[in-house]
Amino acid sequence: MKADAPKPNVQDLQTQILELLGQVSGLIDSAGTALRTDSASEKYGKFQQEVSEAARNVEELELRMAIVAPMKAGKSTIVNAIVGQEILPSRNAAMTTLPTEIICDSELKEPTLILNSHIQQVFRETFSALQRKVNELGMERVQEKIAQYPHLTKLPEKIQGMSKLSIHEKIVGRQQIINSLRALNDIIRVCSVLDPLADPLQSLMDVPRIYTPFWHLQKTAKTEKIGKLVIVDTPGPNEAGENLRLANVVSDQLRASSVVLIVLNFTGLNTKAEEEVKKDVQKVIDLRGKDNLYVLVNKVDQRKDGDMTTEQVRQFVTAEFGLGDGDNTNRVFEISARWAFSATNFLVELEQNPKVEIAQMKTARSLAQDVFPIDWEEELEETNVEQLKRKAEKLWKKSGFDPFLQKAIDSLMIEAAPRCIISSLNITRARLVELLEDMQIRSSAIHEDGEKLREEVVALEADMQSIEECRSRLQELDRIKSNLHEEFNNILESVKKEGKISVESYFSEEEYQRADFMKKGGMKAKNFLDWISKQVKSTTLEKKYQTSIEFPTLREAEEFADTAVTYAKEKVDVLLENVRENTSQQIERSRQDMLEFLDEQTKPIVDRARERLNENFNLDLSLPKLRLDSDYYIDLNKPLVMRHTRTIDQGYTEVVKSRRSFFHYLWLVPFEVTEKIKRPNKVENFYTVSLQGIVYEVNKIVDQNISTIKQGINQYLDEDFQQRINDFFNDLDRYLSNYRDSLKQAQEDQKLSIEGKGKLIEALNSLVPQIKEQIKNADNYLKYTDNFMSLK
């Protein structure tokens, strides 16, 4: 292959890179064959495996596209329409609480859901906790709490009557997958309603995966060879329920996706977007930026005269949600998921059963209702399959899916393909350079004096010994680690001290003191703070202790307790987020110090070897960034609601009674007398929630989580940090060992017969220019791909 400039097209670039990697694999195979009697042939076999794996990564490119909806907007229907069949459960009530990956696999005949052991364990634990909660509250109280979710009313009784949750790793079949996902989503929903603190998403580190045939990917010529499309269905910031956060696993999925689709409901757009929706969209933007962020305005099939036009919608969404300049509206698409799903569902069924009659088709009635909205039943009786097929194709076109899918695929390729290509080219180039160095050293050394080769081998072994001695005497590493331990402990102890609170400071902060929390905690937190501040200052608090609030009914007391612990949990979240930010900054500074120090210590050794061998190799230390994501679980206990009984003095009442007296007309004439009668004391029940109990739980959980973070930091410094340092020195040792082994092999080459030497020299002379040419090709493609990414 010539090193011509590749065409400015991602698909063509992908094809050309695959051609290059195939040629490199063949070249390495030729080198291994020509030198098959050498000790290096096994090493070249490993090189070839690495290049072949890099080629597979480019060919089977994973294109991740996340979809999120901050409002009820038909998100699951959109995914079903893209896939070509109903694969995700949907209903009028908000459905998605569990993020799910849908992975295209053209080899499959029917969809398969995979739930790994970690997911199974999380849901078994959640199910057991739900059973305990249902028994604790009683069925009447449970039904009151879930009254806003009519579709969940029968679930608590089922939960109560089951001995355990049956959940399988592999579930095959469309309907079985829908039923399983619906059950898992409902469990999370009920959990969030009955127990605000039980947040299964917080402990979920992986997501369910659906492998499915992908109808539209198979039908679009442009996407036939681009790799695997992965759609990530994620719960929006508010969709999972008011007591569920956007968990770590959801954040990770959004960050890992090359394209994110935000779905809005056309019927919910007004001249001014709802503030909560705007905040939710902003959360996604804050998490992963505006690049490759697209907006789908769904349900445009419900547009009426006088509603916003297409252009007005695009201008409105772009301006209202801060997605760019007013003229930049090409990231906003109007769609009708209902139309798209109706059309594609019919076409898939027809493709699978080409000779089917309309009366036998399951999807015909749904399609007819969309294409013949007034008299669809009569029209359905009079039409034929071919006519209905043309209607379905027109409906698909009117749905608006084609433009947005093509745009999304283009963006995925532009974003994901270059990263994968650069990674594969770097691996391939490194192996080519190592192969070239072997060939050049042997080609040059075969003509050198044997004693000179022996001296060079000894010198390299001395360099390797110097590297090992350098490793053993690096006391500076211990000093850096010790300083890190001390600095982290100071940070954590300071935060722990800050987290130690009292009732007064916790519930009576001034507005400016809680500004940061309210910014992150939202309107609900602000309303609670405002309310509780008034209560602390009011007479409803017990005068003696000022540590509990009284309620006339058990229900009011429990609702307050739920709200209080939810607020407390959010406050701890904000506190620990600040810990992670401060600690990560300190880690980054220490990483830079370590890089400079190691480079200073090892550079003389590397330079000495380079000068002798006239070769140039560089190593970059890449210490891991400390993960301080919120993978801890905040387990606050709900403050106990106490029942009390008090006796209320009802005082006296006056009663007029008739009396007779000897002194009053000799008992003949009655007279009236007013008497005071003691009213019966009133026995009254009331309920209190201890504010001090909430504060105690918050302080306890701060202690627990600071300890958890401290353990993580210590483990990082003692294991991961040290491991990467060891890897650095091992890499240095490996490079020097490769040169030494090449020289030793050259010593063996000198023992060959004249004919054997001639064949070896001929093979080496043939391989060297080919390897150089392929290195040049790799460099050209790396440069082009890098420029491509900077201009995209």
Burial classification of residue 369, based on how many CB atoms lie within 10 Å of its CB (0-12 exposed, 13-18 middle, 19 or more buried): middle
Rounded Cα distance between 29 and 498, Å, is 63
Q: Could you give the CA distance from residue 532 to residue 152 in angstroms, rounded to a whole number?
A: 32
The candidate with the shortest Cα–Cα distance to 366, out of 351, 349, 346, 386, is: 346
The two three-digit tokens of residue 358, written as one number: 């309309």
| 438 vs 125, more confident | 125
Per-residue pLDDT of 522-535, as tens digits, reads: 434 444 445 555 54
- Residue 194 pLDDT level (bands cut at 50, 70, 90): confident
32-41, 95-104, 396-405, 708-717: range with lowest mean pLDDT: 32-41
pLDDT at 477: 64
Q: What pLDDT, on the 0 to 100 scale, is given for residue 390?
A: 93
The model's confidence at residue 516, banded by pLDDT at 50, 70 and 90, is very low
pLDDT confidence bin for 172, thresholds 50/70/90 = very high
Task: Please report the pLDDT score of residue 551 as a whole number.
Answer: 79
Pairing of strands 228-233, 62-68: parallel
| Pairing state between β 62-68 and 259-265 | parallel
**CA 251 – CA 176 distance, rounded (Å):** 28
CB-CB contact of 208 with 98 (8 Å): yes
State mean pLDDT over 228-254: 64
Top pLDDT among 309 and 408 is at 309
Q: What percent of the chain has pLDDT over 70?
A: 72
Strand, helix or coil for residue 167:
coil
Which has more confidence, 609 or 532? 609
Higher pLDDT, 792 or 151: 151
For every residue of 239-250, which 3-state class applies, written as one string? CCCCCCCCCHHH
Q: What is the pLDDT of residues 47-97, one digit of tens each?
A: 888 899 888 888 877 788 888 887 677 888 888 888 888 888 876 555 556
4-12 contacts: CB < 8 A, separation 24 or more?
5/780, 5/784, 6/781, 6/784, 8/788, 10/410, 10/413, 10/414, 10/417, 10/418, 10/788, 11/222, 11/225, 11/226, 11/413
3-state secondary structure of 711: helix
Position 671 scores a pLDDT of 80
What's residue 88's pLDDT? Answer: 85
Tokens of residue 435, six digits = 């192969």
25-29, 87-91, 238-242, 584-588: segment of lowest average pLDDT: 238-242
List of domains in the chain? 10-59+418-446+750-791 (1.20.120), 62-336 (3.40.50.300), 342-399 (no CATH), 472-639+688-732 (no CATH)
> Does the predicted model carry a pTM greater than 0.75?
no
Per-residue confidence (pLDDT) for residue 737, from 0 to 100: 77
Q: Which long-range contacts (CB under 8 A, 24 or more apart) does 647-654 make?
A: 647/681, 647/682, 647/683, 647/684, 648/681, 648/682, 648/683, 648/684, 649/681, 650/679, 650/680, 650/681, 650/682, 651/679, 652/676, 652/677, 652/678, 652/679, 653/677, 653/679
Chain-wide mean pLDDT for the chain?
75
Is the confidence at residue 662, as pLDDT, over 50? yes
Residue 263 forms beta bridges with which residues?
Answer: 296
The pLDDT of residue 214 is 75
Q: What is the pLDDT of residues 645-658, one digit of tens each?
A: 667 777 778 878 88
The answer to whether the CB of 709 falls within 8 A of the CB of 491 is: no
- pLDDT of 269 over the 50 cut: yes
Spatial contact of 321 and 296, defined as CB atoms under 8 Å apart: no
pLDDT digits (tens, 9 = 90+) for 335-356: 999 999 999 989 988 988 888 8
Q: What is the pLDDT of residue 210?
A: 94
Tokens 């992963």 -> residue: 288
| Residue entry with tokens 């069949």 | 85
Secondary structure class of 49 (helix, strand, coil): helix
Share of the chain above pLDDT 90, in %: 10
More confident residue, 263 or 448: 263
439 backbone dihedrals φ, ψ, rounded to 5°: -65, -45
- Which pLDDT value is given to residue 626? 38
pLDDT score of 515 more than 50: no
Q: What's the token pair of residue 579?
A: 């810990």
Helix (H) or strand (E) holding 656: strand 652-659
**pLDDT for residue 65:** 86
